[in-house]
Structure 1
Amino acid sequence: MPLPRLRSLPVWQQDGLIALAGWLLGFLVYATGAHRIVSGYDHAPLGVRLLELGVLCGLQLVRRRVPLALVLATAVVAADLWLGPSLPVLIVYTDFLYAATLYGTRRASRVMIGLAAFSVVGVLAAVLVLAQQWRTAVLAAVSLLPFVITPVWWAANVRQQRDVAETERANAAQVAKIADLDRRAAVAAERGRMARDLHDVIAGHLSAIAIQSEAALSLPDPKLAKAVLESVRENSVSALEEMRAMIGLLKADGGAAETTAPARLADLAKLVESARASGLEVHVDSTVDDRLPLPAAVDLTAYRIAQEALTNAVKHAPGGRVDIAVHCVDGVLAVEVRNDVRAPLPAAGGGTGLLSMRERADAVGGELTAGPAGDGWLVRAKLPVGGPL
């Protein structure tokens, strides 16, 4: 039977096959008369030898129960030594030494190693002291010692390799678990970032739509009302495109590209026109060329900060003046949005706009400040173009 198939069998079947193989091998050795280790007359009849072998092989069915199996097997071996040591019994006994070292507890394994080492010295010393023909005795002792040393050494080596493999498996499982937790945390963080991004985009467009729609209902001039409604439509279409792109990104497999290009500072004019249609007086001072190759993350962050600041101005300072300044000096892109305060400011923590703007600035290594400035409100962002500030 192939070795992999043998290992797949239940434990009791494996031990049964080992016991059967040991008995058949011992029977052949006894039948041929090659079982004598020490030359001379064998005082035990063949039936007694086969009985010893049968008992010892039967104990192999419980060979993994340490120390019970080892103690009983040692008693059988002691009887065999008293009758005259025989090769089959010693060969089968080595399996008990192997099993006790491999399947026993760590303490039992250390005890077996110590006993094997002690047996080498103890047996040789006893032979030299007690034997009359010391040369023959030493030869017999040396021939018996490998039956003790070899199985213990082999089992200790196998156990060490098994422990190393179990440790490696445990470490691999721990690393896999940590990697899975890191992946889940990264996914959660990315989903949170995308949720904030979607909130900023849609909230900005919907706020402009609501204010412009209200203004359009009260305008007596049809041409001006039409211009406002066109801006409403543009904001609606932009919101739908942004939402469609975000949902497509969430549903895409394996890093699929966005279906629409991300917003850039080059699209600032659309934001300004939408804010003007909402009733704001917007002035823009920009020295940044639309063709300037800004990093994509910085370009998008600057656009979103300007969008959120204009949205807040539309909400809290309707009909006021807004000054937007965009400059790039010494590798730093500065975005300032100043507006008049025409209504009481919202309570701290009432929204996520300022928090979202700060997180965007921090994400690209920049900084953002927002607060009262004179009789107005100022949002100032400094974004590094070439690296963190």
Structure 2
Amino acid sequence: MSGDKPGPEPHDVPGPVAHAPRWLLPSAVAADLDPDADRAGPSGRPRRTVRDWFVDVGCFLLAVVIGLAAAHTVTGDPDVPHGLAVADQAIGALACGAVWLRRRWPLGLAVAMIPVGLISNTAGGAGLVALFTLAVHRPFRYVAWVAGVQIALLPAFFWLRPDPDLPYLAALAVTALLTSAVVGWGMFVRSKRQLVQSLRDRARRAETEAALRAEQAQRLAREAIAREMHDVLAHRLTLLSVHAGALEFRPDAPREEVARAAGVIRESAHEALQDLREIIGVLRAGDSEEAGRPQPTLAALDGLVAESRSAGAKVVLDSSVLDPVAVPASVGRTAYRIVQEGLTNARKHAPGAEVTVTVRGAAGDGLTVTVAHPAPPGPVPAVPGSGQGLIGLRERATLAGGHLEHGAQEDGGFRIRAWLPWGR
């Protein structure tokens, strides 16, 4: 029948079962409550499990027992011809055999049992089983129609075929109560299965969301480590590239200048290796707080400027922050990285130009950091770069709760300006 399959039911449609250590997964809880969830056969229909076989055999035997009890009312009635009693029992036997089709066609079987139940007392047990199956596997509107028709036909049935042991009203009331109890029991089982299905869906959704959150956390951690590696190593490697290039293009430089450049190269290489070891240590430990050396803050800005000056850069530091130690560590570290990246870019793209570093701010007003330089005074050597430094700085400033802007100036120079929050 076309109306026999209005839609998939919780017990009929198998869902995916997660693999890996299942007892640790949220979906395992609901899957354990519904062990028949993953049992689709080659034809797409659910396979009968051991539990299903027990239930089906039990329903068949129940239909047979009730049918035999009802058959006594026919065979024990002297007013019923022998041929009619045999036909009644034969139809009841066929109805009991049809109980095995209840999972595949619950609505069709329940509808077919309405006329069968009118002409055969022995088919009464099979009719109750079919009605119970319909209540379990189909929405209430189908159950209400079928059960309503059956109860509406009860007065006519007992008027034409009265029960020899019970009065008319008593038989009518008992049968109606039994039909209602079967419907209620079936709806209870259906509600329980829907609840289990809901739990399984919520568990899968929670599991998926947890996996997405873990993936996002890993991605953010990788991005943070990549920014840190760029900020730390780009500064050192730029010093190496600039001084190595100077030695390459000026092989006749004075001995003192060659020695100073070689010292800067050696020191920068040593610092780069040390920073690389720390970053690798962070990756292995899985916790950025376990780094070997403390992270730089605003108080380390003087050392950064002094290092750049010792490497031959012209840097002017103008800071109005009286107590750099009072600046929050996260804000100071972000400001340090901004200045570091600005000095690195100036060394690559404007060698020989004077770089001005300005730091202004106070608690409650925020911290403003500016790194600016004019156009380069001479030719600029080709120094490779990733092009990701300024993008990383903007991300750092945004994560710290501030903002950053950068761009070329009218005189051909370049400026980086950032504002970072500094609460009281």
Same fold, TM-score > 0.5, yes or no: yes
RMSD over aligned Cα atoms: 4.2
TM-score (ref. length: structure 2): 0.71
**1:140 deviation in Å?**
1.8
Partner of 1:323: helix, strand, or coil? strand
Q: Does 1:62 align with 2:95?
A: no
Partner of 1:282: helix, strand, or coil? strand
Kept after mapping to 2: 8 A contact 1:249/1:257: yes
Kept after mapping to 1: 8 A contact 2:239/2:268: yes
Equivalent residue, structure 1, for 2:207: 176
Equivalent residue, structure 2, for 1:353: 389
Partners in 1 of 2:34 and 2:244 — Cα distance? 77
Partners in 2 of 1:157 and 1:148 — Cα distance? 14
Which of 1 and 2 has greater Rg?
1
Instruction: Render the CA deviation track for 1:123-167: whole Å, top value 9, x for unaligned.
Output: 458879999xxx932222112212322212322332234334434
The amino acid that maps onto 2:389 is G
Kept after mapping to 2: 8 A contact 1:333/1:385: yes
**1:311 deviation in Å?**
0.9
Equivalent residue, structure 2, for 1:338: 372
* Larger CA deviation: 268-277 vs 295-304: 268-277
**1:275 deviation in Å?**
1.9
Equivalent residue, structure 2, for 1:78: 118
Partner of 1:201: helix, strand, or coil? helix
Instruction: Render the CA deviation track for 1:78-125: whole Å, top value 9, x for unaligned.
Output: 3433xxxx6xx5344311111123235x4xx52331232344455458
For residue 245 of structure 1, the aligned residue among 271, 278, 284 is 278
**1:374 deviation in Å?**
4.9
Partners in 1 of 2:93 and 2:158 — Cα distance? 30
Q: Which aligned pairs between 1:302-341 and structure 2 lie closer than 5 A?
A: 302-331=335-364, 332-341=366-375
Structure of higher RCO (CA pairs closer than 8 Å, 6+ residues apart): 2
**1:302 deviation in Å?**
0.6
Gaps of 5+ in 2: 1-32, 37-47
Q: Does 1:293 align with 2:326?
A: yes
Partner of 2:50: helix, strand, or coil? coil
Q: Does 1:205 align with 2:236?
A: yes
Q: Does 1:100 align with 2:134?
A: yes
Partners in 1 of 2:50 and 2:157 — Cα distance? 44
TM-score (ref. length: structure 1): 0.76
Gaps of 5+ in 1: none
Q: Does 1:148 align with 2:179?
A: yes
Partner of 1:288: helix, strand, or coil? coil
Equivalent residue, structure 1, for 2:311: 278
Equivalenced residue count is 368
Kept after mapping to 2: 8 A contact 1:52/1:80: yes
Compared CA separation, residues 240 and 373, structure 1 to 2 (3 A): farther
Q: Which aligned pairs between 1:221-240 and structure 2 lie closer than 5 A?
A: 221-240=254-273
Q: Which aligned pairs between 1:25-40 and structure 2 lie closer than 5 A?
A: 36=73
**1:308 deviation in Å?**
0.9
**1:9 deviation in Å?**
0.9
Partners in 2 of 1:255 and 1:238 — Cα distance? 19
For residue 363 of structure 1, the aligned residue among 381, 391, 399 is 399
Partner of 1:334: helix, strand, or coil? strand
Kept after mapping to 2: 8 A contact 1:324/1:336: yes
Equivalent residue, structure 1, for 2:43: none
* Larger CA deviation: 319-328 vs 251-260: 251-260
Equivalent residue, structure 1, for 2:423: 386
The amino acid that maps onto 2:101 is V
Q: Which aligned pairs between 1:256-271 and structure 2 lie closer than 5 A?
A: 257-271=290-304
Instruction: Render the CA deviation track for 1:206-226: whole Å, top value 9, x for unaligned.
Output: 111121234456475545544
Partners in 2 of 1:55 and 1:318 — Cα distance? 99
